[in-house]
Amino acid sequence: MRGMFCSLYSWMLVYLAWMCLLSSMQHCRAKVLEKTFEEWMRYRDECLKKLANEPSPTGLYCNRTFDMYACWPDGSPGSTINVSCPFYLPWFEKVKYGLVSRKCGLDGQWVMVNGTQPWRDYSQCEEEMESTMEEEGAHRLMVSFKVLYTVGYSLSLLALVSALLILTIFRKLRCTRNYIHANLFASFGLRAISVIVKDALLEKRWGMEILHVSDWEALLSNKAAVGCRVAQVMMQYCILANHYWFLVEAVYLYKLLIGAVFSEKNYYMLYLYLGWGTPVVFVVPWLVAKYLKENAECWALNENMAYWWIIRIPILLASLINLLIFMRILKVILAKLRANQKGYADYKLRLAKATLTLIPLFGIHEVVFIFATDEQTTGILRYIKVFFTLFLNSFQGFLVAVLYCFANKEVKSEMKKKWQLWKLDHPALCCTQ
């Protein structure tokens, strides 16, 4: 029994490599495993019912049985029994005319391997070698993608935490502009944490050993999926927060450039509502829809695209507004440069430079791929979409931290001052020239 479950499990994982070439590969694997297990249960029940209704032969014979893989009738001693490949196999359409065989020994017992495992020839029920090689290649590519975004999110998290500490520790850096940067850093940091935690939960879940039917049921139960669903909801919330905090960055910069007079304290509260509150308005309906209508696995697959658009429409809206503000900011800067305003604040231009660098990065790939969903893209387009989406999403946090903190002249100047003061206070620890 143990060998059967382990071999079947490994077969399905190989099959799923080609099926699930996405960042959410574990979720796709879960969907196919769930369907396969349901079909296996139906095959088992039909088999047991059939075996119970058939009359028993007389004399010496191998007993009818369901060996957890296929349904076997009574067998005559010394004969080879052939049955059709079981229909629960994910690749059944490719092998539906194939046969699986077992031998009935002269003593009326099924032939065993090493005295514990049933001997069977299921070569006709396996996938073709060519397909398997394609799937293994896809699996290797999928693993490479996972390494890529894991490195990206880890590097981003490290940079974002460092940037947050810098902006909060140094008092001279505490202002509305840097508070907005800090919230943007926090949204990216939470996103990175949610992705890393989700992957860890999925690895733990799919790494469990499958020995019995109850193990399958536990693996695919709603209770086992609670952790990754929470991480999935958190990730969707943080993705929305990323876009709306960057929208806040763009709005703040635009107001700064046009010289609008406004109360930063009052507007900062509105910024908080926009950055952290707006995502809640869309994530809660999406969560309810998933729970009531698509309560399967980790809520990563989109069977009904209407639920998917609950999340994607506000992202597209924020990206389009960012691009419009991007064009307006360009117009304002060009107008002021033509007017040769020497008194134009240097920090405004530096802030504009950082924001203008990020807005196209944030907006363009979202707009380009907004209609190309994971479920709708195939072939080379899918590879391109997956690569660029994973690369940009995972390294965005790092780029944000660099442009808004580590490359900021104000931050570097303050850190240099603190370093000089520290050397004066600890001369014994510093090397003399």
Task: State mean pLDDT over 109-115.
Answer: 86
- If one compares 270 and 356, the residue with the highest pLDDT of the two is 270
Q: Which range has the worst mean pLDDT, 186-190, 220-224, 253-257, 320-324?
A: 220-224
- Taking the C-alpha atoms of residue 135 and residue 17, their distance in angstroms, rounded to an integer, is 5
Indicate the CATH number of 134-415 among 1.20.1740.10, 3.10.450.100, 1.20.1070.10, 3.90.1570.10.
1.20.1070.10
Sequence-ordered list of residues with C-beta below 8 angstroms from that of 122, at least 6 positions apart, any chain = 69, 70, 85, 100, 101
Question: Is pLDDT above 90 for 279?
Answer: yes
Q: How far apart are the first and last CA of the chain?
A: 74
Question: Is pLDDT above 80 for 333?
Answer: no
Q: Which range has the worst mean pLDDT, 106-115, 301-310, 335-344, 385-394?
A: 335-344
Domain 29-125 is classified in which CATH homologous superfamily?
GPCR, family 2, extracellular hormone receptor domain (4.10.1240.10)
CB 149 within 8 A of CB 181: no
Question: Is pLDDT above 60 for 97?
Answer: yes
Closest CA to 405 of 149, 150, 154, 184: 184
Closest CA to 66 of 96, 37, 41: 41
Confidence of residue 323 (pLDDT cuts 50, 70, 90): confident
* pLDDT, position 80: 92
Question: Is pLDDT above 70 for 13?
Answer: no
CB 350 within 8 A of CB 177: no
Q: Which range has the worst mean pLDDT, 87-96, 243-252, 383-392?
A: 383-392
Question: Is pLDDT above 90 for 101?
Answer: yes
Residue limits of CATH 4.10.1240.10 in the chain: 29-125
Residue limits of CATH 1.20.1070.10 in the chain: 134-415
Full-model pTM: 0.70
Question: Is pLDDT above 50 for 7?
Answer: no
